[in-house]
């Protein structure tokens, strides 16, 4: 009896051991599967995050590049427009010679007898016919009085305005009938001279010189008439 009971117990232990081993194996496999799935999920999430970040960085880089290129294009366009407007500002004035010669003296305006002069140098000007006679010699236009050396002289030099005024010292800025200009003054041999350098937007510069007897009477009389003549200068 004891032997049979021993064999029976031994068989039970053997079966039980087999069952325990089987359970351990199954548990290990499930754990391994879970770990594998966890690893796979983590890898997939990392790949997805890297892909999304890369895509966002690429989109941001593209947007920034496009924005910078557009900004650069706008800056270039603005600079080009500003430069063109500056270089042609004087030319775009479209100044014309007035129909009257208006002289301002002592706060009063007066129209004096005058005539328009059309020059072969490419401009027109109005001069006071009671005071001056017009002529052309020595490559210049002369408006001279019948007596004395008072006159207005106009000449043209084939040098750009910027280059011309770079060689002049002590000049002052002004305008001549809307054109950009500078002028210088000097006193010599009893005469008071003013020379205007006029920017017409071309590759040339016009010089207009007025010369009047250096006395208060002449400067306030004939001098003002000369000033009025200068302000009627215009390109054809």
- Segment among 8-12, 141-145, 183-187 with least mean pLDDT: 8-12
Give residue 23's pLDDT band: very low, low, confident or very high (50, 70, 90): low
- Segment among 56-60, 144-148, 151-155, 175-179 with least mean pLDDT: 56-60
Which of 195 and 64 is assigned the larger pLDDT? Answer: 195
pTM: 0.62
For a pLDDT cut of 90, what percent of the chain falls above it? Answer: 56
Q: What is the pLDDT of residues 32-56, one digit of tens each?
A: 444 445 445 544 554 454 445 444 5
- At 146 the pLDDT is 85
- At 147 the pLDDT is 81
Residue 222 pLDDT > 70, yes or no? yes
Residue closest to 173 by CA, chosen among 199, 200, 191, 154: 199
**Cα-Cα-Cα-Cα dihedral of 168, 173, 174, 178, to 10°?**
90
- At 44 the pLDDT is 52
Residue 92 pLDDT > 70, yes or no? no
Give residue 105's pLDDT band: very low, low, confident or very high (50, 70, 90): confident
Handedness of CA 102, 210, 155, 136 (dihedral sign): positive
């Amino acid at each position: 009896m004891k032997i049979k009971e021993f064999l029976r117990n031994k068989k039970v232990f053997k079966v039980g051991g087999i069952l325990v081993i089987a359970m351990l194996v199954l548990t290990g496999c499930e754990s391994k599967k879970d770990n594998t799935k966890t690893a796979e999920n983590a890898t997939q999430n990392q790949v997805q995050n890297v892909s999304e970040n890369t895509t966002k960085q690429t989109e941001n880089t593209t947007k920034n590049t496009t924005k910078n290129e557009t900004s650069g294009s706008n800056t270039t366009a603005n600079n080009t427009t500003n430069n063109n407007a500056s270089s042609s500002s004087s030319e775009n004035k479209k100044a014309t010679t007035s129909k009257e010669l208006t002289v301002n003296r002592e706060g009063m305006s007066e129209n004096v007898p005058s005539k328009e002069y059309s020059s072969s140098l490419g401009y027109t000007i109005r001069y006071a016919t009671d005071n001056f006679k017009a002529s052309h010699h020595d490559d210049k236009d002369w408006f001279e009085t019948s007596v004395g050396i008072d006159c207005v002289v106009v000449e043209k030099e084939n040098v750009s305005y910027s280059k011309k005024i770079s060689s002049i010292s002590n000049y002052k800025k002004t305008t001549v009938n809307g054109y950009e200009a500078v002028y210088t003054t000097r006193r010599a041999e009893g005469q008071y001279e003013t020379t205007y350098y006029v920017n017409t937007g071309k590759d040339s510069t016009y010089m207009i010189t007025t010369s009047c007897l250096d006395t208060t009477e002449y400067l306030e009389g004939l001098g003002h008439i000369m000033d009025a003549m200068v302000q009627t200068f215009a390109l054809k």
